[in-house]
Amino acid sequence: MAAHNLGTELDLSWISKVQVNHPAVLRRAQQVQARRTVKKEWQAAWLLKAVTFIDLTTLSGDDTSSNVQRLCYKAKYPIREDLLKALNMHDKDITTAAVCVYPARVCDAVRALKAAGCNIPVASVATGFPAGQTHLKTRLEEIRLAVEDGATEIDVVINRSLVLTGQWEGSDFIKTSTGKETVNATFPVAIVMLRAIRDFFWKTGNKIGFKPAGGIRSAKDALAWLSLIKEELGDEWLKPELFRIGASTLLSDIERQIYHHVTGRYAAYHDLPMS
């Protein structure tokens, strides 16, 4: 994410004493996943809110300017206008939080969003995504070029050897994973991360953002994530400055659920525009 944290002196003494009650974390995760979701108009409202947290993402080896352009248009118009009108939300300027692309596609995204007449941020996965194992000089140059091309947020892939050897680094956001791992965003891991954010806030007064990424595909999952953030960190964190969902296919299911809420039936493949 865009760097704005001026930093605070890092005290590792309390970090080294942190312990995780694994069985309790698993129970809490099961509780979150088993909870019945809100229904009807309340569900529609929460799903629209979830849209505003999505970093709409394409990170494929065959990305082109045309599919990035489609993605940007979908970021600007995430839900069909007639559906928003039925919910009386057509004038609320609902968009995704950002568009996330490879550094080489930043120019395409910036150009497409400008053509669409919106100022949605462009995020880029610079710094040797997804392994983070390139030279530091190369990683810094990749960030510089992405920013030069118009990226305003950078998803940094840390060199994980630094973590494994206890050489901690600071950030404005922490993310569950690159989204390219075998296992990505899970509730048990998220609970530990969120409580670390909470403890850090209590000790320093600094708010760190959180981004689950990878494997979040259903509207039901999105509602569970919003509920978890609300309960663990509070309403203060339920804003795009402090919470994002990294996803490429989640938006399609959210729009499908809203279509069902408005019309009483599920959409056929051709009823909803592709992203």
Read off the tokens for 92.
């609320």
HSE of 211, CA atoms in CB hemisphere, 13 A = 31
Residue with tokens 């409580």: 195
Q: State the catalytic residue, choosing from 175, 180, 230, 239.
A: 175
What ranges in the chain are assigned the alpha helix state H? 12-15, 22-34, 40-51, 65-76, 81-86, 106-115, 136-148, 160-164, 187-204, 219-232, 250-263
Q: State the catalytic residue, choosing from 211, 220, 230, 239.
A: 211
Phi, psi of 233 (to 5 degrees): -120, -20
Distance set, CA 71 to CA 1, 62, 65, 123 (Å): 20, 14, 10, 13
Active site residue 175: yes
Active site residue 85: no
Identify which of 252, 186, 255, 244 has the alpha carbon closest to the alpha carbon of residue 215.
186
The Cα 148–Cα 134 span in angstroms is: 20
Residues with active-site annotation: 175, 211
